[in-house]
Amino acid sequence: MGYAAIQIAKALGCRVIATTHRQEKLPLLAGAGEAVLDDGELEGTLSGATKALELVGVKTLSDTLRCMEKGGIVCNTGILGGVYALNGFDPIKFIPNGVYLAGFHSNWPTRQAMDDIFAFIGRNKWKPCIGASYGFSDIREACMALDGGKVNGKIVVEVAV
């Protein structure tokens, strides 16, 4: 999702700052305007951030919220950090004054939403960032690659019709 999010934001004219927790992945973020190594404490290192798409999830949400300018909006949509809930969540203490927190859940998109997404992709002539392709008979290896986090980009499983 991160590579696609970079492309979408750029197509919409946004200034894009992308982060990663791994030094070796910085070159993969070349499509962003700025690539930043996230050492777990981004607060104070970024300036001018008004919108953020939080793909790691609640594990890094607090730091992302603290990086926002007044009036900034953070959309939490990820669960990559393996933490799914904030126990003892106190919004008054957790969300900085003047910053907004939203969420997005995409498990059941409508046909119209999917048509709109594909039309947007077509107009912008995007090519997905494919990290590896597997035949359907190799789906086990595809799942192992996904679980191992070794592939940079999307994993495609080709199904013969």
* Per-residue model confidence (pLDDT) at position 2: 85
- Averaged over successive runs of 10 residues, the pLDDT of the chain (161 residues) comes to 86 91 87 90 88 90 93 91 85 94 89 92 86 94 88 89 79
Per-residue pLDDT, 1: 67
Neighbours of 79 (CB within 10 A): 13
Q: What is the pTM of this model?
A: 0.81
Instruction: Give me the CATH topology for the region 2-103.
Output: Rossmann fold (3.40.50)
How far CA 158 is from CA of 134, 136, 138, 155, in Å, comes to 6, 6, 9, 10
Domain boundaries, the chain: 2-103, 128-161
